[in-house]
Chain A
């Protein structure tokens, strides 16, 4: 008897779960929630008398001129953001690799240098680091705002990248080192031909995350007026007061780029898994 008493509510619970588990119900709930959020936002905007002018936005993305379509201000800004992020990421990868190898080396000085670098970069806010690079290092080494931004973002992300690379290297089995060592390869050769190619598989997912972070954190250089996507958005808004539309568009552009990047790397990963 106690058995049926216990199973009855369980059956009912399972039935509920099965109902919520169906695709139609899930989609319905999702649409409902999104509709509530959007409606609340629109009502709020209407209440403050915001005048939506979405029709003006396409021109800032793709400008229609007599010569045909030209990239608008936002698209130009996006291009600058991508170039900035790519250069800074290349720098972060190189520095990250060096720092990781130093940390794994037998050299006491190498390990100490790497530790000091990591502790400093990890414990200083990105914005402060940017000010240091632009207002302090800038005048000393004659860096323009663009170079200062690349260096700052590169150094900041190198710390995180180096941890990813170190973990990737450590995840390669010890026996691989021994086998490569026993055929007389040098340390450099072992890293290059045996260890790093194998650790790429472990590093790719977290490195993608880091690249996405890089693109997002590159927005911070708008505070020193580097002409990239966020700066372009700010400039347009100060001319037109279209703040809602422009910020939504800017956010959507960042989202589109980072989603594309994630999908691209997901495909790359499949290829690496096949090789192993």
Chain B
């Protein structure tokens, strides 16, 4: 983290659905290589926050600058940002009609304009990294949830993004599969990737996060390093939230 210009800069960002403020003047900056874990009660705007970063959700006011590009109406800018920002979804969202390998190469071939052979080499490389090289020719439905989510991570990585967004990547998994996905994410953290993770896996957060962001009612209630956040959260709401999810 020698480079001190933020790779993500959100300033006073609001997102309004009808009369519901999903995001209420949120400001957040993320440095290259920084790992941010976003947590908070459901409906607090965590997902909306990270979905604004690759404009799956558009913001109504404020500015978002990602990798030097301001997100606005320009579709070309938006696509440029999306190529630099990978996203992993709660429901995996693999393409069911394509094999694992085809899922991974679709982006590189069609968006990056790589040759098929180069894309396949890249894809096999990333399948290795998520520890499922042997599943390349299967269809997503033939894999377990944990394997599917690892394929989804590999699919995002194949675009060689500078930033990875995770939207509750383990929430849809059976308990015994959560760790295989978290392990891959920890390994990814080791490579210096900029990561923003919405998750309730506090063990993971403690291990990899540089920064904890606690959200409530569309606002960022607290930003703190994990040690401080877990031992002594400054806001009462964060303390209550931690008590609830760490109870058992």
**Which residues of A are interface residues toward B (Cβ below 8 A)?**
173, 175-176, 178-186, 189, 193-194, 197-198, 275-276
Q: Given A175-B91, A183-B107, A193-B106, are A198 and B54 also a contact pair (CB < 8 Å)?
A: no
Inside 8 A of B86's CB, which chain A residues have their CB? Answer: 182-183
Known: A179-B87, A181-B56, A189-B111. 10 other contacts (CB 8 A): A178-B56, A179-B155, A183-B83, A184-B111, A185-B111, A193-B106, A193-B110, A198-B97, A275-B139, A276-B139
Taking a contact as CB atoms under 8 Å apart, the answer to whether A276 and B106 are in contact is no
Interface residues as binary, B115-152 with A (CB distance below 8 Å gives 1, 0 otherwise): 00000000000000000000000010100000000001
Chain B residues near A175: list those with CB within 8 A: 89, 91, 93
- B53: min CB distance to chain A, Å: 10
| Nearest chain A residue, comparing its CB with the CB of B83 | A184
Contacts of B80 in A (CB 8 A): 184
**B95–A179 touching, CB < 8 Å:** yes
List 24 A–B pairs whose Cβ atoms lie within 8 Å, in order of A's numbering: A173-B93, A175-B89, A176-B95, A179-B95, A179-B152, A179-B155, A182-B54, A182-B85, A182-B156, A183-B106, A183-B107, A183-B156, A184-B79, A184-B80, A184-B107, A185-B106, A186-B79, A189-B110, A193-B106, A194-B106, A198-B95, A275-B139, A276-B96, A276-B141
- A189-B110 Cα distance, complex, nearest whole Å: 8
Residue of A nearest to B51 (CB): A178
A182 touches B79 (CB 8 A): no
Q: In the complex, which of the residues A173, A175, A179 has the most CB atoms of chain B within 10 Å of its own CB atom?
A: A179
Asked if B141 contacts A185 (CB within 8 A), the reply is no
Interface size class of B (residues with CB under 8 A): 20 to 34
The CA of A276 and the CA of B159, in the complex, are separated in Å by 25
Do A179 and B111 touch across chains, with their CB atoms under 8 A apart? no
Closest to A272 in B: B97
A residues in contact with B79, CB < 8 Å: 184, 186
A191 to B159, CA, bound (A): 20
A185 touches B93 (CB 8 A): no
Asked whether B97 lies within 8 Å of A184 as measured between CB atoms, the reply is no
Complex Cα–Cα for A173 and B90 (A): 14
Query: Any chain A CB within 8 A of the CB of B7?
Result: no
**C-alpha gap A193/B86 in the complex (Å):** 19
Q: Is B100 interfacial (CB-CB < 8 Å)?
A: no
Task: Report the separation of the CA atoms of residues A186 and B86 in the bound assembly, to the nearest whole angstrom.
Answer: 16
Closest partner residue, chain B, to A178 (CB atom): B56
- Roughly how many angstroms separate A276 CA and B140 CA in the complex, as a whole number? 9
With a CB–CB cut-off of 8 A, which chain B residues contact A276?
A: 96-97, 139, 141
Q: How far is the CA of A42 from the CA of B85 in the complex (A)?
A: 76
Interchain CA distance A142-B91 in the complex, whole Å: 56
B107 touches A185 (CB 8 A): yes
In the A-B complex, the 6 residue pairs with the smallest Cβ-Cβ separation, listed nearest first, are A179-B93, A183-B107, A175-B93, A184-B82, A182-B87, A184-B83
The docked-state distance in angstroms from the alpha carbon of A153 to that of B153 is 48
Q: What residues of A have a CB within 8 angstroms of the CB of B111 in the complex?
A: 183-185, 189
B59 to chain A, nearest CB (A): 16
Which residues 150-179 of B sit at the A interface, judged by CB distance below 8 A? 152, 155-156, 159
- Cross-chain contact of B82 among A173, A183, A275 (Cβ < 8 A): A183
When distances are taken between beta carbons in the complex, the residues of chain A under 8 Å from B89 are 175, 178-179
A186–B113 Cα gap in the complex (Å)?
A: 13
